[in-house]
Amino acid sequence: MARLHFTDEAEMYAYKAWQTLKLEPPADLQKVAQRLGIEVCEREFSGEVDGLYLRLPDVPPIIAINNSYIKPQVRRRFTLAHEIGHHLLSRRIQPGSRMFFFDTSSKKISIMERACDRFAALLLMPEDWVRRYFEELSFNPRLRVQIMASRFDVSMPAMRRRLRELGLQENRFNR
Ligand SMILES: [Zn+2]
């Protein structure tokens, strides 16, 4: 069933990626980047760097992710999804122009950064799949969040945040 209404561009782009590429959890972000013509590379940067997005005329846009050992795999994944967000969400603001975003581990406050985080969460954990797994795993409240986080290949805090956003409450009696 095709959706026609979206709250914002982040939601629309995440939805389109799942539809177009027929994704399944865990979302194949390399496939998404490839489809968009983005070159993704991993480098060891200093600890404060998470990743960056660079677009210059006449060459493919580049995303670089910090693969330092202090950045867990789930963190790198979220960063990659966030940087893909920069690619999609900055395109229409200044088409064809130079664009550079540098993401560090410090708190993000701008509208663009928040939109990219939202895009990342939606790309990694689409609402319909989250609801489906949440329901499926209702027999196992103790491990539910952990299992879901591993199915989506995201961190536990990211999974919890997403559940809260969707108004899905964890059972607390086993804590
Ligand atoms: Zn950013």
pLDDT tens-digit map of 52-93: 999 998 899 999 999 999 999 999 999 999 999 999 998 776
Task: Measure 117 CA to ligand 1 centroid, in angstroms.
Answer: 8
Check if the beta carbon of residue 126 is closer than 8 Å to that of residue 15. Answer: yes
Check if the beta carbon of residue 78 is closer than 8 Å to that of residue 118. Answer: no
Task: Measure 40 CA to ligand 1 centroid, in angstroms.
Answer: 15
Task: Measure 1 CA to ligand 1 centroid, in angstroms.
Answer: 32
- Residue 102, classed as helix, strand or coil, is strand
Task: Measure 52 CA to ligand 1 centroid, in angstroms.
Answer: 7
Task: Measure 119 CA to ligand 1 centroid, in angstroms.
Answer: 11
Task: Give the rounded percent of residues in the chain with a pLDDT score beyond 70.
Answer: 93
Task: Measure 106 CA to ligand 1 centroid, in angstroms.
Answer: 11
Task: Measure 71 CA to ligand 1 centroid, in angstroms.
Answer: 16
Check if the beta carbon of residue 115 is closer than 8 Å to that of residue 9. Answer: yes
Residues ≥6 apart with Cβ < 8 Å to 47: 68, 70, 105
Task: Measure 110 CA to ligand 1 centroid, in angstroms.
Answer: 9
pTM strictly above 0.85 = yes
Spell out where the chain has E strands: 39-43, 49-55, 62-66, 99-104
**pLDDT tens per residue across span 2-24:** 677 899 999 999 999 999 999 99
pLDDT exceeds 80 at position 171:
no
List 63's β-bridge partners, or say none. Answer: 40, 53
Distances (CA, A) of 122 to 58, 112, 128: 30, 15, 10
Task: Measure 135 CA to ligand 1 centroid, in angstroms.
Answer: 32
Euclidean distance between CA atoms 1 and 12, whole angstroms? 15
Distance of CA 22 to the CA centre of its chain: 16
Indicate the pLDDT class of residue 175, thresholds 50, 70 and 90.
very low
List 40's β-bridge partners, or say none. Answer: 63
Indicate the pLDDT class of residue 113, thresholds 50, 70 and 90.
very high
Preceding amide of 26 cis, omega within 30:
yes
